[in-house]
Amino acid sequence: MQSVKILDQFPNVQWANFKGKDLLRIDEFTGEELMQLLELAVHIKQLQKSGQPYQPLVGKTMGMIFDKASTRTRVSFEVGMHQLGGMAMFMSGKELQLGRGEPISDTAKVMSRYVDVIMIRTFSHAGVEELAKHATIPIINGLTDEFHPCQALADMLTIWEHKGKLKGIKLAYVGDGNNVANSLVLAAALLGLDVRIATPPGYEMNEEIVEQAKVYAQTSGGKLLVTHDPIEAVKDADVVYTDVWTSMGFEKENEQRLNDFAAYQVNDELVSHASPSYIFLHCLPAHREEEVSSSVIDGPHSVVFDQAENRLHAQKAVMAAVV
């Protein structure tokens, strides 16, 4: 069966402008470009479900550098690259010469001569920026301590699928002002959502990111509310989202965080303030009875596994567009 050529079905999109572009943070792309990627993801997903091949990356290779453990990121990228016709190589950061002190710039230059794209999941966002600065191929951020753009793209795809639109959707995020929150808020602001963020005192989002999101919201028609009150955030929300209270790298703070976040659990009482037709999102892995009750994450409003699946389709759209 001949591979379908999807990009040709978008005659008004300048896909050449995407080629070679990095995805280090979600606002590497404009709101319009994000919608184009989401539309591409929908088409790719439909083709996959119908069994039609879409393989624009035959002969292409992706290097995957992992300094942080992963389930969804590794499997979705590796499977996605295979389905697009290319191949993916798993590389532990500890096993590369990076682990023995080779400068990031040298690794970037060498890898650019071997592979066609690099996906990296690591701690330091500055390190990923340094990699991109010296590479001559696209760099995709699979997660850093500051940003998780691929997750945000999958989140927007899931909301769009279940709610039929993005502009004006009321999105409540309750929990830590972490990398997931940073990318989620930027994506929501670019795409015109009404986003509300509720964090405990001392765990707020980065203020520069909040201010940047406000600028995007002014252009897109979106709204942004930052609060310490989870009920204020969730009131009439179409989407309720949370994440773990203790992310990788913060394990030493776990006991303190359990105390500080106790009033921020997403449970039946809190979601009773949301719209009756709300959907629940969580980027996973989840700790049931900590940040979310089992009754919510395993209940009828939860679409967390659709959300997890959409990592595959959203990332395939990114790879197809930039490689």
CB 27 within 8 A of CB 216: yes
% of residues, the chain, pLDDT over 90: 91
Q: How far apart are the first and last CA of the chain?
A: 23
Give the active site residue among 25, 125, 196, 311. Answer: 311
Q: What band does 5 get if pLDDT is binned at 50, 70 and 90?
A: confident
Please report which confidence band the pLDDT of residue 75 belongs to, taking 50, 70 and 90 as the band edges. very high
Q: Is 218 annotated as catalytic? A: no
283 among known catalytic residues: yes
Q: Is 151 a residue of the active site?
A: yes
Count, residues in the chain: 323
Mean pLDDT check: name the lowest of 5-14, 42-51, 174-183: 5-14
Catalytic-labelled residue, pool 36, 83, 151, 315: 151
**43 labelled catalytic:** no
- Predicted confidence at residue 101, as pLDDT, reads 85
Q: List, as residue ranges, the binding site for L-ornithine.
A: 179, 243, 247-248
The H or E element containing residue 295 is: helix 294-297
Confidence of residue 219 (pLDDT cuts 50, 70, 90): very high
pLDDT for residue 262: 97
Percent of the chain with pLDDT over 70: 99
CA 157 to chain centre: 10
Domains 6-148+310-322 and 151-308 share a fold: yes
Average pLDDT over residues 9-38: 96
CATH among 1.10.10.10, 3.40.50.1370, 3.60.40.10, 3.20.20.70 for 6-148+310-322? 3.40.50.1370
The model's pTM is 0.96
pLDDT of residue 26: 98
8 A C-beta contact, residue 189 and residue 220: yes
151-308 fold: Rossmann fold (3.40.50)
Binding site per annotation, positions for carbamoyl phosphate:
70-73, 97, 121, 148-151, 283-284, 311
pLDDT of 177-213, one tens digit each?
A: 999 999 999 999 999 999 999 999 999 999 999 999 9
Given strand 223-227, what is the order of strands in its sheet? 223-227, 194-198, 170-174, 239-242, 279-282
Q: Which two tokens stand for residue 148?
A: 């998780």
Greatest CA span in the chain, whole angstroms?
Answer: 57
Q: What is the CA radius of gyration of the chain?
A: 19
Indicate the average pLDDT of the chain. Answer: 96
Q: What is the mean pLDDT of residues 85-103?
A: 88
DSSP for 53-97 reads ---TTTT-EEEEEESS--SHHHHHHHHHHHHTT-EEEEEETTTSG
Is 311 labeled as catalytic in the residue annotation?
yes
Residue of 196, 283, 313, 315 with catalytic role: 283
Annotated catalytic residue, options 25, 43, 121, 257: 121
What is the structure's pLDDT at 4? 84
Q: What is the pLDDT of residue 249?
A: 77
**Of the given ranges (4-8, 132-136, 287-291), which has the lowest mean pLDDT?**
4-8
Determine how β-strand 223-227 pairs with β-strand 139-143: unpaired
Across the strands, what pairs with 177? none
pLDDT band at residue 250 under the 50/70/90 scheme = confident
Look at residue 99 in the predicted model and tell me its pLDDT.
65
Check 148, 196, 301, 313 and give the catalytic one.
148
Is residue 199 within 8 A of residue 230, CB to CB? The reply is no
Long-range contacts, stretch 143-148, CB < 8 angstroms, 24+ apart: 143/68, 143/70, 143/73, 143/179, 144/179, 145/179, 145/247, 145/249, 146/25, 146/179, 146/182, 146/206, 147/24, 147/25, 147/26, 147/179, 147/182, 147/183, 148/179, 148/180, 148/182, 148/183, 148/283
Q: pLDDT tens digit string along 136-161?
A: 999 999 999 999 999 999 999 999 99
Domain boundaries, the chain: 6-148+310-322, 151-308
Tokens representing residue 13 in the block: 């999109």
Query: Quick check: is 36 catalytic?
Result: no
